[in-house]
Chains A and B, each alone.
Chain A
Amino acid sequence: MPPPLLGLLLVLPALVVVLLLFVVPLGASVAGAFVVGDGVGLGNFVKTFALYTPDIVFTVLIVSLSTALIGTFAIAIGGYLTLGENPRAVAILRWLYRWPMFIPFIVVGQVLRTFLAKNGLMNNVLIAAGLITPLDAASFLDWRGIVIAFVWKQTPFVALLVAGAMASVDRGTIEAARNLGASRARILVEILVPQVATTLMVSLVLSFVTMMSVLSVPLMINAQSPTMITADIAFRINAYGDYGVANALGLVSLAISACAAIVYLRHSVRERT
């Protein structure tokens, strides 16, 4: 048997698995978005945009805002782990910040639902501390709840990667800046972040795509209107058995994720040239 054929034979099982379990369902789902009644058409997309445009905009805004906040916090955490001068504080932060990473989204949703409610733990603590009065207490179980859940859950993931990248940055550049009198904030922004930009970008794109696909958090915190696309997809299928519009919504969500990937690719191509 000629070697090329043998090679093909060796990857065949893996290839078949990928084809059957990933490519075929994806293709069926994409094709399904264009099936209207017995024919083919754009009816599902017309309905999708007529009914769910606010939800699509809402999803993009929520996920973008969460991504920005995650990036900010991850840089802050990574920066302190690298540049912090109090060893005890660094050790505590290093021990603490990873915890949320090991908690599933559904549990995050459930925990925050009782934490952020109008009479939930957060407001009770604030009231007991005399910071707000019971009348000022407001429920955070709306878009803010979703953002808080996403940021809380995804920040450690990004921070882990970013902190790792920052730790491997040549200490010489940091020491040089310090010798020249740069403040820690300036070192972080001008020396560290540019050197870990690629890692940051990759982890943020991964977080973006993960957040696009989370159903449990919007379902538990705010399944109202507007809500995230995932909740609408579930509703289309559960309430109407309408796979056409659900597929169309899935395709929209795919397009949004693809945009994030393109931004990332452009960026990395520009860096290399």
Chain B
Amino acid sequence: MKSLLAPALASATLLLGFAAAPAGAAELTVITAGDQNMVDYVNQYLAPLFEKQYPGNTVRVVGTGPGDAGSQKIVERFDAQDKAGSATWDTDVAVVHEKFVGPMIKGNYLESYRDRISSGKLVSRANADMALGTKVTGYVMPMFNSQTAIAYNPALVPNPPRSYAEIAQWAKAHPKQFGYNGIKGGASGVSFVMGWIYAFGDGDAAKLMNGPFEEAETKKWDAAFASLRDFTKNATLTPGNAGTLDLLSRGEIAMGPVWVDMFYSWQADGRLPPDFKLVLPAPGMPGQPMHYVIPAKSANKDLAEKFVELATSPKVQAQGIVERFNWYPGIDAKYVQAELPDAVWKKLFTSVTPEDLAAYGKPFPIAPYNSAILEAYERQATN
């Protein structure tokens, strides 16, 4: 019900907000895609912090709903204001999925602000410069990175495989002990398949991540899908992202791809045994960031920059992003470590170190390759 209501409420609030604009320069409007927890995060944590640091200003937050659809709404809102020729827009800061930053930059909707804020230098991951094929340097600050990795049960797997090749070997030796959710049951399975193509495709993985799209490239995956087909026959197919974690906790599978933040949340709730661990295999698995962007026609640009600066400061990244939500920080993890209690740091980075993350945390392929890989999987790996 919440997820149904949230978009409706959000659009209602947006409309109201639009009617009430322009508010005083001291009111900052933040709109965010994603689940209710994104709204709660700003409302309960970030906004009070900001209002304390910059007294007299208030933060108003609006959620546009979960998933890509939420980000799509924000793009459409910018489109509309652009076409209407509004001099100032009703949004000061937006939080969007990386896939939607490209269209925003093409439309010249965004301010290039990263170099002007102090936390801009702390960003290290490549996905802050390239977002699924579009150069976004300067326009975005990553709010957090979510990442997929292989979760395993150390009681059954004392020496986890460290690469895709080793995973394939291990799965062959242990039939039905590796579980993943295919491509129709959630993105952790999709991510595993993308990683498989990065690892075993005959083409250039960097091209898949950065473009440009060439039809010829899509013909280079036959061998990889043939081996994935055999691999899948020998694996357990799970029903969904949560399904993989569920089967892991029941001991029905020993290993499988999961979202890292989900893994830690389940562990914190006691739904996964505390000794379960993660490994990020070479040559890497995809993850994706959410980005802070500032519209070029924001009425409160300075304040917006200050807001993002605060939100991406090591302290906030440590307490808000890592400790509260088990997400990986948007800025380089080494700046965050100093701000974290040792236990929290250990929890998030024991099995997957910042070095692993820098080396093996990959972006998803650009959109046309993404669809091509999914369809080739349907055609070649399951039929």
Contacts and interface: CB of A to CB of B under 8 A. Distances in A.
Interface string B146-181: 000000000000000000000000000000000001
A182 B250 CA distance: 53
B374 interface: yes
Contacts of B382: 224-225
Contacts of B379: 50-51
B237 to A, nearest CB: 4
A231 to B, nearest CB: 6
B239 A227 contact: no
A41 interface: no
A239 B378 CA distance: 12
Given A51-B379, A239-B374, A117 B250 contact: yes
Contacts, number: 55
A239 B239 contact: no
Contacts of B236: 139
A220 B371 CA distance: 24
Given A231-B184, A240-B371, A222 B252 contact: no
Interface string B339-383: 000000000000000000000000000000001001100110011
Interface in A115-143: 117-119, 139, 141
B183 interface: yes
B252 A119 contact: yes
Contacts of B181: 223
Contacts of A63: none
A153 interface: no
Nearest to B374: A239
A118 B182 contact: no
B251 interface: yes
B257 to A, nearest CB: 15
A53 to B, nearest CB: 8
Contact of B182 (A51, A54, A139, A224): A224
Contacts of B295: none
B240 A223 contact: yes
Contact of A225 (B182, B240, B250, B374): B182
Nearest to B371: A240
Given A51-B375, A225-B182, A235-B184, A220 B239 contact: yes
B114 to A, nearest CB: 31
Interface string B182-206: 1111000010000000000000000
Interface in B236-294: 236-237, 239-240, 247, 250-252
Given A51-B375, A51-B378, A51-B379, A224 B252 contact: no
Interface string A149-172: 000000000000000000000000
Interface string A202-235: 0000000000000000011111110100011001
B182 A223 contact: yes
Nearest to A222: B239
A239 B183 contact: yes
Given A51-B378, A221-B239, A223-B239, A118 B184 contact: no
Interface of B: 181-185, 190, 236-237, 239-240, 247, 250-252, 371, 374-375, 378-379, 382-383
Interface of A: 50-51, 53-54, 113, 117-119, 139, 141, 219-225, 227, 231-232, 235, 239-240
